Structure 1
Amino acid sequence: MKGPPLPAEIIAILSAFAPVMRVTTWLKAEILLIGAFLCQGPRRISSILRVLGKSNERRFEKYHRVLNRDKGSCALCAKILLGLWVALLPADFPIIIAVDETLERRKGKMIKAKGCYRDAVRSTERRVVKCFGLKWICMALIIPLPWNERPWALPFLTVLAPSKAANERRNREQRTVVDWTVVMLRLVSRWLRKSWILVGDGAYACIELGHHCRKHGVTLISILRRDVNLYEFPEPPRPGKRGRKSTKGKPIAKLKDMAKDAGQNWTESGITGYGGKKKSIKYLTGVNLWYKAGEVPLPVRWVLVIDPDNPERPEAFFSTDTEMSPEQIVEHFVLRWNIEVTFEKSRAHMGIETQRQWSDKAIGRTTPVLMGLYSLACVIAKEMSQTMKLNAEVTAWYNKEGQATFSDVIAFVRRSIWAAKFFLNSKSTDKSIKLPRQELDFLINQLVMAA
């Protein structure tokens, strides 16, 4: 059981995950990881074995067991992957983690955790499209990379959220997206043991989640409804006054009304928008208590923003860190959009939604592994880019202006693996390279083979 020769950088990075599982399991898992990098199209075990030249492997079922039977911890792998990236963060860049859910379209009676959800990719403001699939909640670290001006969101922890019907069939308590996020929040806080920032869309604008974040030293940044109930802080109780102390003061005006009030003292400022582009905005800000019946009031700094290019659509954001500046709140929230790019690229290049497992354990492992491979490819590319140049592939119809994309990253990693296999013994000064007929036939077969 032996995989292809690998560059030293890939061996060093993959070896960090070896202690998570038994030696025999790791030898199989390492082969699957390398094959998953080399595959183009569906990431199935059969495709991986074929691309590695193991089509005649008699005991091919042992590779399926890595996902559906062998012991291993995805949580420990996520911890290691997060540690690799945190160590590479620039000293002046905060730890920002984006959280969002994505839908993996799956059908079949054997897919027990599936449900019917709104498909955010296919839906529009006027038309809602629903489909069956699996809901995954993903946390991704925001990190700047040398080959792109836009910071990337690199997933490290992905959790399956079974549907309500699936939990009822198994007599399990239903957990909402916020409930799962709290579990992930506690786990990541225990790993990092330092302050960090959690950024999410409107689904994570929750008072309960905000209190959990404050308890664990985490700053929550999200979008805020413009009709939310905000209150002043309560006045100190008068001496000798009896009864329960007030938890909130007087209500302030609704944010939607402030946006229409031309008499407000708007502040003009510049921020760094998506893709590193500078943008001018106008904003109002304040520190108040966010209150909802049945919840303990949550102190937040809110920011009401108007884009001069689109003044008809004001937006509101909040942070549980009341000392954070309004510009920082808006800039950190803008970084959340990078996780949407990650979801799209992982479908296009890492084979998300192409797997066909029916085993519950295999289903629960495959998508988190493929998401982790997206990040792992970037780790490998960053290490190898110190000694080799990562080129952005350009065409006459697509000028990337020197900004590499994930297609360039995965091609960079694939090329290094193929080069280590076929050109290891070739001299760097040779003008021509001779390949044995068997190896040449293998490469040609990989080009012409149907997915």
Structure 2
Amino acid sequence: MPDLPARFAGLILAFAPLFVHRSWRHAQLLLIGAILTPGRRTVASALRIMGRAQDRRFVNVHRILNRAAWSPRAGGRILLGLLIAAFAPRGPVVMALDDTIERRRGKRIAAKGIYRDPVRSSDSHFVKASGLRWMSLMLLAPIPWAGRIWALPFLTTLVPSERACRERGRRHKPLLDVGRQLALQARRWLPSRDLVLVGDGSFSALLFLDAMRRARITAITRLRLDAALYEPAPPRLPGTIGRPRTKGARLPTLAATLVAKDTRWHAGVVSGWYGSAQRGIEIASGTAVWRHGGMPVVPIRWVLVRDPAHRFEAQALLCTDLACDPTQIVSWFVRRWSVEVTFQEVRAHLGVETQRQWSDTAVARTTPCLLALFSIVTLLAAQLPARQRQRIAAAAWYPKPRPTFADALAAVRCAIWRKGTLATSPRRRARTKPRFRLPTPWAYALCHAA
């Protein structure tokens, strides 16, 4: 295993308490190998890139994923603390919650199911995919050298299919229940910080929003234009008989408010609008009570957003914090687009969907570790000098003004290789220059097809 730069060693040692001493050596080997490995992220590839292809005790490295006693949840807490200290030391902690499908096949993967593929499907075309469903909680933080918001995963859990739970005699947990547990776990880890949770329309459910409101988490999601909104319940007069009222008069739907001529629109500017620098929009907002029979009553602030240039269709958002500024609500919501970018980056550069584990424990650990590797690489890149982390792989046909995650990963790999293989001798006396031989890990990385 190559010697790590001093700026990297301190950060990686933060995860040492998760393991016993013997397991930590193998876990560190696996972590550095996953960073350096191109192509598939298998244990065998990590051993080859680390020069351990002839190690007869290779099974000990496999046991880190399928047998060793360590807690991924405790690792998520350590990772969140590092991310908060590096990228969000002050102000509200903005997080995103979303699910993704990992396309996997195999008879021995018990938790897989058949799901709608959100990437290949459209409104008029339905595509099914066989794989695993994951729910991930990410920190949405600005990365200074990248000049944009990155979604940094720190807590990911498997959501087994309903068929798999039925075959094992377990109760199936819907996505909303799993998402609620992840958000409440983050609240327990950060009891004194203001938390903002951003999600898509699938989290626009009264049970979920009520749980976030009671946990003092500001939830921001999409809202249906035909949602049943009401005025707050009037004050209860003394001597009134019967149950207390939960709502007031019915309000017009947001679809009617959108086309009404008396709706008051305010111009605003939102930064980072889905990849663009700034976007001028028009906003209308108000407060209401969202209610449905048999469900909790949730006070919300609704926000209507439309484009003066008619480049996108009008949409509605909701926020459980009634005092929040509407422009700030929209600004926080558009950060959610970086979640899709992260899912694409981990597939393209960190080998998600190329694993070959089949045991239940290894399957439940490998993908969360690869998603967390995205955040670890970002933290390692933040430790590099500005000159190294701002190197951009640009070309005449591919102008790139700012570094991306691929550039950050290349900078971290270069720093590790330089320390472990290219380091020069501290002695200054003259000596015969040795003949250069290509190291075996380099030959594996450069000469074998990905």
TM-score, structure 1 length as denominator? Answer: 0.95
Q: Which moved more, 1:143-152 or 1:303-312?
A: 303-312
Q: CA shift at 1:94, angstroms?
A: 2.2
Change in 2 beyond 3 A, CA 1:197/1:428: farther
In 1, the alpha carbon distance for the partners of 2:336 and 2:284 equals 22
SS of residue paired to 2:282: strand
SS of residue paired to 1:274: coil
Aligned to 1:156: 154
Change in 2 beyond 3 A, CA 1:435/1:408: farther
Aligned to 1:338: 338
Change in 2 beyond 3 A, CA 1:58/1:385: same
Aligned to 2:301: 301
- Consecutive unaligned residues in structure 1, runs of 5 or more: none
In 2, the alpha carbon distance for the partners of 1:13 and 1:199 equals 28
SS of residue paired to 2:383: helix
SS of residue paired to 1:384: coil
In 2, the alpha carbon distance for the partners of 1:93 and 1:265 equals 31
Contact 1:150 1:276 in 2 (8 A): no
Aligned to 1:329: 329
Aligned to 1:11: 9
1:71-220 to 2 correspondence within 5 Å? 71-90=69-88, 93-194=91-192, 195-220=194-219
Aligned to 2:403: 404
In 1, the alpha carbon distance for the partners of 2:203 and 2:441 equals 50
In 2, the alpha carbon distance for the partners of 1:47 and 1:350 equals 13
TM-score, structure 2 length as denominator? Answer: 0.95
Letter of the 2:393 partner, please give it. Answer: E
Aligned to 2:241: 242
- Consecutive unaligned residues in structure 2, runs of 5 or more: none
Aligned to 1:377: 377
In 1, the alpha carbon distance for the partners of 2:441 and 2:350 equals 23
Change in 2 beyond 3 A, CA 1:312/1:394: closer
Q: Which moved more, 1:290-299 or 1:237-246?
A: 237-246
Q: CA shift at 1:126, angstroms?
A: 1.3
1:44 aligns with 2:66: no
Letter of the 1:105 partner, please give it. Answer: R
In 2, the alpha carbon distance for the partners of 1:199 and 1:92 equals 18
Q: CA shift at 1:85, angstroms?
A: 0.8
In 1, the alpha carbon distance for the partners of 2:345 and 2:88 equals 24
Q: How many residues align?
A: 447
Letter of the 1:135 partner, please give it. Answer: R
Q: CA shift at 1:275, angstroms?
A: 3.7
In 2, the alpha carbon distance for the partners of 1:330 and 1:142 equals 14
In 1, the alpha carbon distance for the partners of 2:163 and 2:334 equals 35
Change in 2 beyond 3 A, CA 1:446/1:89: closer
1:47-58 to 2 correspondence within 5 Å? 47-58=45-56
Change in 2 beyond 3 A, CA 1:99/1:175: same
Q: Which moved more, 1:360-369 or 1:259-268?
A: 259-268
Change in 2 beyond 3 A, CA 1:440/1:297: closer
SS of residue paired to 2:151: strand
Letter of the 1:298 partner, please give it. Answer: V
1:265 aligns with 2:264: yes
Q: CA shift at 1:442, angstroms?
A: 5.0
Aligned-residue Cα RMSD (Å) equals: 2.0
Change in 2 beyond 3 A, CA 1:184/1:120: same
Identical positions, percent: 39
Q: Which moved more, 1:260-269 or 1:80-89?
A: 260-269
Letter of the 2:420 partner, please give it. Answer: K
Q: Deviations over 1:203-259 (max 9, x none)?
A: 111111111111211100011010101000111123322111110001100101111
Aligned to 1:67: 65
In 2, the alpha carbon distance for the partners of 1:387 and 1:381 equals 11
Q: CA shift at 1:92, angstroms?
A: 5.2
Q: Which moved more, 1:5-14 or 1:417-426?
A: 417-426
In 1, the alpha carbon distance for the partners of 2:247 and 2:438 equals 74
Letter of the 1:255 partner, please give it. Answer: L
Change in 2 beyond 3 A, CA 1:53/1:285: same
Q: CA shift at 1:274, angstroms?
A: 3.1
Q: Which moved more, 1:43-52 or 1:87-96?
A: 87-96
